[in-house]
């Protein structure tokens, strides 16, 4: 029986290994993590991450050929294939701070693998890492122990949160990069055989190591660039009277462009896009390519601009001040169907509003109060993409309450900001919402989920990204 061990039981490692276990009953899969809390979660009724369809798969496989353990060394020693799926945040200090990937967790995992291994291993890079990380890892592994062969593969994961299970069951492609040596090619085949249990062969792409590593950064940069492109258009739409949804639709019907990923929003979030682009920018700079670095940097700058533009719209339409006004924040996660808040645009928008002394009442169906308070208290570190919105002071955190019901959040509020496109926000009884709010009542839709005409008929003043402006907003001072 082939044994797989995955180091890191997070958003990538957990779901990916659950699907491998489901589709490959002959493989024993163990997911290990240094965090006891995480592993306990995976072994309990309440999984540590929310992902539609995940619970069913875990329940079916757990205890059969899927295991979760904190005994990292034991399972690494026993495995034939080791996936490394640890976190790689952006460095917050020292060389490359604010841009380069922090490989501390990766390096410590690699050293541990080198220490405990007694047999040959295939080591698979699963977390997104800078190009040429595989080479560094290879050096750590091969220099530490003689007689054991470590073969490195890069197998970046393309799943998106909220649709992780769907993406894993039916991926557009599986990418496997390896050395062009006989051992490298043999390892590629071994891993390809695992995926071939459910992925059609023609969707399994095999490349060299560097192409696989760079493809992941490139794919995320292209996706984020599409959103910044449409968001840049949304600002122009508001200025000209064009409707961004109509523009997106028209542009997307060109088969060379395609219709997906063209929804204007308050900005992209999530653990990958910003981190991977910063990483790409850093790699370009290190390779003496400042023009290329600046090109990609602009994608992040437009994303920051979109968030501050939103805050300015809220403040300027409410008579240039939100001081002491209650504002309801509907949705805090970075997208629907996940409880993840990493880099969510809601953080910057809330900080901006708190900076203007608003009182916030926040509701998200999947995010805890503890998480929201933690996110709002953290300092956003950045050098090259400056912290334009400072963390709120301890006093302004007192201006935040987290509630468990959308109607409670909006009660007596002057304005409602929709930050996440949860389906339930489309179905709210907006007449009831209107009746319970202060007048005039404002809705600022950062995800284009509401029916603008219907809300205006009820009496709301509505701002929706990239849509023709409400006469009220048109008369307000220009937005910076
Ligand atoms: C992304 C990539 O899609 C995935 O392939 C990679 O493996 C990890 O990074 P994820 O961050 O989970 O996945 O979600 P994604 O659906 O890409 O959304 C990212 C952000 O962009 C979200 O905040 C989302 O709301 C926003 N978005 C997405 C838009 O604003 N408009 C769109 O049209 C699409
Ligand atoms: C373009 C648009 O495609 C068309 O829809 C619009 O009506 C007019 O402008 P055109 O300029 O005739 O058409 O040719 P196109 O095929 O778009 O190529 C434009 C340039 O881009 C060419 O120099 C082409 O060589 C280059 N190109 C195109 C690339 O370098 N790489 C590509 O992948 C595609
Ligand atoms: P991702 O979104 O990429 O999956 P997460 O942060 O959700 O990232 O998960 C990464 C996991 O890796 C965390 O649960 C963390 O505790 C774990 N981890 C980090 N370093 C190690 C290590 N050396 N050994 C085992 N687990 C680790």
Flag whether 90 is marked binding.
yes
Residues 138 and 263 in one domain: no
- Domain check: are 228 and 135 in the same one? no
Pick from 199, 234, 258: which residue ends a domain? 199
Q: Is 205 within the bounds of a domain? A: no
CA of 289 to the centre of ligand 2 (A): 25
In this structure, the answer to whether residues 129 and 29 fall within a common structural domain is yes
60 DSSP 8-state letter: H
Model ipTM? 0.94
Domain membership flag for residue 351: yes
**Beta strands 359-363 and 400-402, pairing class:** parallel
Please indicate, yes or no, whether residues 237 and 194 belong to a single structural domain of this protein. Answer: no
Residue 209 within a domain: no
What is the rounded average pLDDT of the residues 251-277? 97
Cα 257 to ligand 2 centre (Å): 12
390 band by pLDDT with thresholds 50, 70 and 90: low
C-beta 220 within 6 A of ligand 1: yes
34 — phi, psi (to 5°)? Answer: -75, -15
163 CB under 6 A from ligand 1? Answer: no
How far, in Å, from the CA of 262 to the mean position of ligand 3? 31
Q: Are residues 306 and 239 in the same domain?
A: yes
Q: Among 153, 169, 199, where does a domain finish?
A: 199
Residue 213 belongs to a domain: no
pLDDT above 90 covers a percentage of the chain that reads 85
Residue 52 maps to which CATH number? Answer: 3.40.50.720
pLDDT in tens, 82-130: 999 998 888 888 998 888 888 999 999 999 999 999 999 999 999 888 8
Structure tokens, 30:
């163990």
Distance, CA of 174 to CA of 196 (rounded, Å) = 10
Predicted confidence at residue 338, as pLDDT, reads 92
Q: Is 89 annotated as a binding residue?
A: yes
- Confirm whether 27 is domain-assigned: yes
Mutate to test the pocket of ligand 3, among 50, 68, 82, 86 (most ligand atoms within 8 A of CB): 86
Give me ligand 2 centre to Cα 249, in Å.
21
Pocket test for ligand 3, best of 36, 49, 87 (most atoms within 8 A of CB): 87
**Can you state the percent helix, strand and coil of the chain, rounding each to 5?**
45, 15, 40
Residue 211 domain flag: no
Domain co-membership, 295 together with 173: no
Judge contact between 363 and 329, C-beta under 8 A. Answer: yes
Residue numbers annotated as active site: 272
Residues 181 and 257 occupy one common structural domain: no
Of 21-25, 66-70, 278-282, 383-387, the range with the lowest mean pLDDT is 383-387
- Residue-level pLDDT at 386: 46
Q: Are residues 195 and 227 in the same domain?
A: no
Number of domains in the chain: 2
Mean pLDDT of the chain: 93
Cα 25 to chain centroid distance, Å, stands at 30
How far is Cα 432 from Cα 134, in angstroms, rounded to an integer?
56
Residue 105 · residue 87 · CB < 8 Å: yes
156 lines ligand 3 (CB under 6 A): no
Domain span at residue 394? 221-474
In a domain, 215, yes or no: no
Same domain, 228 and 143: no
Cβ–Cβ < 8 Å for 263, 230: yes
> Are 67 and 189 members of one domain?
yes
Question: For residue 404, is pLDDT > 90?
Answer: yes
Q: Ligand 3, atom 2: nearest CA belongs to which residue?
A: 11
Q: Which is nearest to 345 in space by CA: 252, 274, 251, 402?
A: 274
Measured from the Cα of 340, ligand 1's closest atom is 12
Asked if residue 73 lies in contact with residue 79, where contact means CB atoms within 8 angstroms, the answer is no
- Any ligand 1 atom below 6 A from CB of 334: yes
Q: Are residues 10 and 136 in the same domain?
A: yes
Top-confidence residue, 174 or 387: 174
Which of 142, 164, 199 is the C-terminal boundary of a domain?
199
Whole-number Å distance between alpha carbons of 45 and 369:
21
Q: Is 72 in the pocket of ligand 3 (CB under 6 A)?
A: yes
């Amino acid at each position: 029986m082939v044994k797989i061990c995955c180091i890191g039981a997070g958003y990538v490692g957990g779901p990916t290994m659950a699907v491998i276990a489901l589709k490959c009953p002959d493989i024993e899969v163990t997911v290990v993590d240094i965090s006891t809390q995480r592993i306990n979660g995976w072994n309990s009724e309440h999984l540590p991450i929310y992902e539609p369809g995940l619970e069913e798969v875990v329940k079916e496989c757990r205890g059969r050929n899927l295991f979760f353990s904190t005994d990292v060394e034991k399972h690494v020693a026993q495995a034939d294939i080791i996936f490394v799926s640890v976190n790689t945040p952006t460095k917050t200090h020292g060389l490359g701070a604010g841009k380069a990937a922090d490989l501390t967790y990766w390096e410590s995992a690699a050293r541990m693998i080198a220490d405990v291994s007694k047999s040959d291993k295939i080591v698979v890079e699963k977390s997104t890492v800078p190009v040429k990380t595989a080479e560094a890892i290879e050096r750590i592994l091969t220099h530490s122990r003689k007689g054991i062969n470590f073969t490195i593969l890069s197998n970046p994961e393309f799943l998106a949160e909220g649709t992780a299970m769907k993406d894993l069951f039916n991926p557009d492609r599986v990418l496997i990069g390896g050395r062009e040596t006989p051992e490298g090619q043999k390892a590629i085949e071994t891993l390809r055989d695992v995926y071939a249990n459910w992925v059609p062969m023609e969707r399994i792409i095999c490349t060299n190591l560097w192409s696989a590593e760079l493809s992941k950064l490139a794919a995320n940069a292209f996706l984020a660039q599409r959103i910044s492109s449409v968001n840049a258009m949304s600002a122009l739409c508001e200025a000209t009277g064009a409707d961004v949804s109509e523009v997106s639709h028209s542009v997307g019907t060109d088969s060379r462009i395609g219709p997906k990923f063209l929804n204007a929003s308050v900005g992209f979030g999530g653990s990958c896009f910003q981190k991977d682009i910063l990483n790409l920018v850093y790699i370009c700079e290190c390779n003496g390519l400042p023009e290329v670095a600046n090109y990609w940097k602009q994608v992040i700058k437009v994303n920051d601009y979109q968030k501050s533009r939103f805050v300015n719209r809220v403040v300027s339409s409410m008579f240039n001040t939100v001081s002491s006004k209650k504002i309801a924040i509907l949705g805090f996660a970075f997208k629907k169907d996940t409880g993840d808040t990493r880099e969510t645009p809601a953080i910057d928008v809330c900080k901006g509003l708190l900076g203007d002394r608003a009182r916030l009442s926040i509701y998200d169906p999947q995010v805890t109060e503890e998480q929201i308070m933690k996110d709002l208290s953290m300092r956003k570190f950045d050098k090259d993409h400056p912290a334009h919105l400072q963390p709120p002071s301890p006093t302004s955190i007192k201006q935040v309450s987290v509630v468990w019901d959308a109607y409670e959040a909006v009660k007596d509020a002057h304005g409602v900001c929709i930050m996440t496109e949860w389906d339930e926000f489309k179905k709210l009884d907006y007449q009831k919402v209107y009746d319970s709010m202060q007048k005039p009542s404002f809705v600022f839709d950062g995800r284009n989920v509401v029916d603008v005409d219907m809300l205006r008929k009820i009496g709301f003043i509505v701002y929706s990204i990239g849509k023709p402006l409400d006469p009220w907003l048109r008369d307000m001072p220009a937005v910076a």
